């Protein structure tokens, strides 16, 4: 989905929400795609422009752009409702509006949306640490995910904290 389509979809959803009486803010500055956020599907941020006027920026994770329209719409609606007065958290007011939207628009907005609910596979969040170089002096660990000069020749490096000698820990295959 391109940004243009995402913007159009957001406008449509905002309109539908307003039509059922949910006062979505008119001061939404932009909706952007976040390619780094994997832990959360969306975010609603408050910004202040140069005149001190409050505007909202909505971020949608690129992870969910491939979802079915209903799932994606629910994520967008979740963030849009945060722009209503007094709805910046997931308090009572936010809850009443989302319940209403779910009932009347057939959405499935929830406080926390899980990958499984979205029909998505959970991405590998934790990468394997293959090597751990350790300081002989202070014990600081320098985990590395792949072979590199530090792993190959730890003796050529010194600990950044205490200046002592570094060595490669054998058989230390752990996961962070």
Size of the site for Zn ion (CB under 5 A): 8
Q: Which is nearer to Zn ion, 6 or 166 (CB)?
A: 166
Pick from 113, 112, 84, 96: which is nearest to 14 by CA? Answer: 84
CB distance 105 to 17 below 8 Å: yes
Q: Does 169 bind Zn ion (CB under 5 A)?
A: no
Please give the Cα distance from 58 to 14 (Å, whole number).
Answer: 12
Residues 101-160 interacting with Zn ion (rule: CB under 5 A): 135, 137-138, 140, 159
Q: Which is nearer to Zn ion, 148 or 162 (CB)?
A: 162
Among 34, 129, 164, 168, contact with Zn ion (rule: CB under 5 A): 164
Helix crossing, 92-105 with 3-19: angle to 10°? Answer: 100
Q: Which is nearer to Zn ion, 20 or 162 (CB)?
A: 162
Closest distance between Zn ion and the C-beta of residue 165, in Å? Answer: 9
Q: Which is nearer to Zn ion, 107 or 159 (CB)?
A: 159
Pick from 82, 60, 75: which is nearest to 2 by CA? Answer: 60
Please give the Cα distance from 46 to 21 (Å, whole number).
Answer: 22
**Residues interacting with Zn ion, by CB under 5 A?**
135, 137-138, 140, 159, 161-162, 164
């Amino acid at each position: 989905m391109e940004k243009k389509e995402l913007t159009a979809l957001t406008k449509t959803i905002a309109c539908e929400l307003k039509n059922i009486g949910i006062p979505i803010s008119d001061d939404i500055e932009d909706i952007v795609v976040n390619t780094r956020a994997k832990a959360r599907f969306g975010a609603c941020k408050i910004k202040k422009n140069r005149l001190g006027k409050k505007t909202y920026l909505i971020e949608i994770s690129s992870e969910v752009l491939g979802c079915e329209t209903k799932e994606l719409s629910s994520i967008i609606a979740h963030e849009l409702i945060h722009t209503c007065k007094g709805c910046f958290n997931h308090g009572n007011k936010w809850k009443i509006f989302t319940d209403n939207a779910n009932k009347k628009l057939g959405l499935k907005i929830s406080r926390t949306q899980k990958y499984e609910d979205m029909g998505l596979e959970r991405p590998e969040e934790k990468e394997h640490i293959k090597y751990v170089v350790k300081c002989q002096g202070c014990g600081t660990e320098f985990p590395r995910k792949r072979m590199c000069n530090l792993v190959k020749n730890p003796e050529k490096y010194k600990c950044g904290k205490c200046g002592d000698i570094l060595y490669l820990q054998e058989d230390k295959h752990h996961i962070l």
